[in-house]
Structures are given as structure tokens and as C-alpha cells.
Structure 1
Amino acid sequence: MNRSDRTAALRRQHPKPPLYGKDLRLTREQAEARRSPNPGPFEEIFFAHHGRPANKWVHYLPFYDRALAPYRGRPIRMLEIGVMHGGSLELWRKYFGPEATIFGIDINPECAGRVDAPNQVRIGSQADPEFLRATVAEMGGLDFVLDDGSHIASHQRLSFEALWPLLAPGGLYVIEDMHTAYWEQWEGGLRRSGTAVELVKSLVDDMNGRYFDEDEAWAPYEEIGTVFTADSIAAIEKAARHAPAGHVWTDKPTPASQAG
């Protein structure tokens, strides 16, 4: 069965809902009904939050609880791209605790007033590598990047190119709202080169770079620990250490087991 026939068969079995251009905002009651059966701490913090407004897709909440559990309670250095109303910075402070260094950046000057110490906001563009590097230098380093900025493909690429080399080993780089990679007004399109989705696909190839001769596209394979994805969101872990590839048996195989 070729790709076209396979796709048509899948669509007959699983009709695709017309989501493009649809208003997907949920009421509070609808969002509560979609909560995880056993919510983690970030999901609990989000639904209990009162303060500056914050907005997240509901399925991001358990994603973050899985991806960020190793970082909680540590003095991490976080950079959030995109401040908007400032509520997200408050959520991250509650989640990571008092020892974290948390900075947000935004191109909107009004966002400078949408923050409370010890969180910090700097005004500038995520497409300006010098601004990004200066902000990270002020932070004293970088352990966690959350790109929830313009969602424009070229901006996402420029941010990744500037910030990935500055991310500490063991750190995490997250890109939100990657569905814009399919939409033309965000420089997107299905399988269009240069989008965040294609970037993440390339990083999977880069992670396996030891198995082919061509150069990696975005990062040396030694630097990529895991690539963790869900609907519209991806988390790329920078490897804490590089271990050469190799496999091992739990017990020495017998001739019979090798034959089977």
C-alpha cells in the first residue's frame, strides 16, 4: 500500500476533525474535565493558580510533569521566551521554588511591568542572537529554555541556534505550539523546511548521527540525550555526558538461543 492509499484508509477509519482556524479555547469547566486522573505538581499548580493570567494547552500540563520532574527543587536557570501577561513566570516560580533563576523575554515593552521579583523580564527579540546571549550571561548560565514566543519558524530557528550552545549539559530545551509549523502565516507548511517540526525531526537524525556519514544538521550527536514529543510540543535534552554506543547481554547466549 502506497502512502496515499494508506493515508486515505486511515482517514476513513479515523476522520480528522477540522481544527485549522477553529477556536479551541476551553471553558474552565471543560478544562477541569480533561485533567489527568493522577495530576502531577505542575498540573496542580496550574489549576490552583490565582494571579497574573496564564494560558496553556491542557495536554501540556502532564507533559511538563514528566519532562521536568528531574529539575524541580534544583537551583536551575530558566529562560522563557514570551511573557505575555506574566502568569507563566509565576507558575514556574511556584513549580521550581525560591532557588531558581527565572528570566522572561518579550518584544512588548509593557511586559517589563508584568513581573515580580525575584523573576526578571528583559525586553528584546528572540530573533536577536546578541540580545539572547547577553540575557543568558546576565543569568549566569542556562539550564531550561521554553520557547513560547512568536512561533514564527525563522525566529524559533534563530533562538535555537543561539541558545543551544549556551545550554548546560543535562539541560532541557522546550518548544511550544509547534502546530504553527503547518500554517503559512507563521512561515509554515506540511514538511516545509525550516519549521520547528522539521527542526525536531532533524534533531532525531542528529541524535543518531554516529550511524551515518553525513554531518549533523543542528547539534553533534554527543550533545543530544533524548527528544521527547507530544502534540505541538517537544523537549530536547542536552546530554549530561557522552557514552560510546554499545550493547550487552544479561546472560551469555547459548547456541540454541542464538539459533532461535
Structure 2
Amino acid sequence: MKRFEFDPDGDVAEDIRTKYGHDSDLLKIYAGTKDVQVNKWHHYIPIYDRYFSPYRGKPIKMLEIGVKKGGSLKMWREYFGDEAIIYGIDIDEKCREFDGQAAQVRIGSQDDPEFLDEVVDEMGGVDIVLDDGSHVMQHIMASLMALYPRLSNGGLYAIEDLHTAFWPGFGGGLKSRGNFFNRVRRMVDDMHRWYHDGKPTFPQMDKAISGIHIHDSMCLFEKAEIPKPTFSRVK
């Protein structure tokens, strides 16, 4: 990872503006973070802003998997505003110290469906999930299968740091069946099962994916109820 690290004395905001032609409130919030630690890949900032900006200023409910130093929760609080309900989960007991600051923090595992259900129940539902947890393939899938059915229609499920899909230490590998992107391929098949005879591989997401977006190390799912496609000719 060292070969990707940005010069600690460099200008983060200028690097993102120059490389990606991007300037936004989120960039200012991220680059201007003080007192708490937050670390993100620079190309994530414009991606986040592209997909998350429609939810700003609304009483949305967001769950972030992975709390770490608490900086990301603080960033999202500033970005989404006071009306948002924001929760973070982590297995590290030390993360309790961040509870009640920028967000509510609960301690538990992202691959425990009962724990995830309890958190979503406490939140009163969930509109955005951001998985920045263990980055282990089986944990990513466990969270997705448990939380996607609980995601509201019109909601968004984002998974980041998916470069680990190519690392054996995280259950992945370039040719590995466990590579998350190989599972995404089957999710694409499920999206199109109106046009083939196969059964859904992931019934938890059946007829509820309106879009799948893949970026470098990130995958985002848009949820909506999908009616049967209709074709017409208009003269």
C-alpha cells in the first residue's frame, strides 16, 4: 500500500481537483478534516459525491460498516447534515468512544445477521449502506445478503476497497471464485433474468436491483422494485 500513499506534505484538495476535475463540498469537508483521522482513496471523493449528493439535506438513514478512528462518520455528518440518522458499526470495542459524537456507534460483526437486523431496527430502516469494514470476501457477502433486503426502495448500497477482491489474504484472487466481482457477474445475470430461464443466484436481491455501478475498487447497487420490462413502438 505504501506505493499508493500521497505525500503527507502535499495538498490533498489540489491533487483531487487536478487529477479528477472535481470540486465539491465533500472535497472541502474531507480535505479540511481536523482533530480526527479519516483516510480515503482520492478517486473515491468524486464517486461519493456523484451518488450521495441526491440524499443531502434529507432525513436519510445511513449505516457505515467500519468506524476505525471515527473520521469518516464525522465527514458524513457534515456532508448530510443534522437531519440524517447515521450509525457506524465495528468489532473493535475501542470504537465505543465515538458513540454519540458525529453518529451512533454499535459494536458487533458485519457477518452477524442478527446484529445487523438489531441495528437497522434501532435506526428505523436504512437508505444508504457503506461497507468499509473488513474487506474480506465472505464478510462483504454476508453483510450484503443480510442488509440488502432491509434497504429502502430508492436506497444505495456501496462497497469500497474492493481491490482486496484480488488478494488471497482477503479470500479473493485474480482467478478465484471467491473474488467479489465474479459474484457481481451473477448478479448481472439475475438482473436480466426476464430474458433467460435461469433461477436467481441471489434471491435476496431478486427484482430489486435497478443499477450496478463499478468503479476502481468500488461497487454500488441502486435498489428499486423492478416491474416487468415493457417494449412499445410510438409512431
Alignment TM-score, normalising by the size of structure 1: 0.83
Q: Does 1:143 align with 2:122?
A: no
CA contact (8 A) 1:191 1:198 kept: no
Among candidates 190, 200, 223, match of residue 238 of structure 1: 223
Asked whether 1:24 is paired with 2:4, we answer yes
Per the TM alignment, residue 22 of structure 1 is displaced from its structure 2 partner at its CA by 5.1
Cα contact 2:73–2:102 (8 A) shared by 1: no
- Tell me, yes or no, if structure 1 residue 157 matches structure 2 residue 141: yes
Paired with 2:102 and 2:6, the residues of 1 have a C-alpha distance of 31
Alpha-carbon offset, residue 50 of structure 1: 1.8
Distance 1:201 1:68 in 2: 24
Q: Name the SS of the counterpart of 2:4 in structure 1.
A: coil
Amino-acid identity (%): 44
Q: Which one-letter code corresponds to 2:218 in the other structure? A: I
- Which amino acid is the alignment partner of residue 26 of structure 1? F
The CA distance in 1 between the partners of 2:221 and 2:59, in whole Å, is 20
2:143 aligned with 1:122: no
CA distance in 1 between partners of 2:24 and 2:107 (Å): 32
Letter in 2 for 1:237: E
Other structure's SS at 2:6 match: coil
Q: Alignment partner for residue 223 of structure 1, among 208, 228, 234?
A: 208
Which letter maps to 1:200?
V
What amino acid does structure 1 have at the position aligned with 2:16? R
C-alpha distance in 1, partners of 2:202/2:31? 36
What pairs up with 1:176-255 in 2 under 5 angstroms? 176-219=160-203, 220-239=205-224, 241-249=225-233, 252=235
Q: Is 1:34 matched with 2:34?
A: no
Letter in 2 for 1:156: I
Matched, 1:75 2:59: yes
Kept after mapping to 2: 8 A contact 1:89/1:115: no
2:38 is the alignment partner of 1:54: yes
Distance change >3 Å, CA 236–CA 191, structure 1 → 2: farther
1:4 aligned residue: none
TM-score normalised by structure 2 residue count: 0.91
Whole-angstrom CA distance in 1 between matches of 2:99 and 2:6 = 26
- Unaligned 5+ runs, structure 1: 1-20, 253-260
1:132 corresponds to 2:116: yes
Higher Cα Rg, which structure: 1
Aligned-CA RMSD value = 1.8
Q: CA deviation at 1:30?
A: 6.0
Aligned to 1:13: none
Q: Does 1:103 align with 2:83?
A: no
Q: How many residue pairs align between the two structures?
A: 230
Q: CA deviation at 1:116?
A: 4.0
Measured after TM superposition, the shift of residue 107 of structure 1 is: 0.5
Distance in 2 separating the partners of 1:134 and 1:125: 12
Equivalent residues of 2:22, 2:46 under 8 A apart? no
Which residue type is aligned with residue 96 of structure 1? F
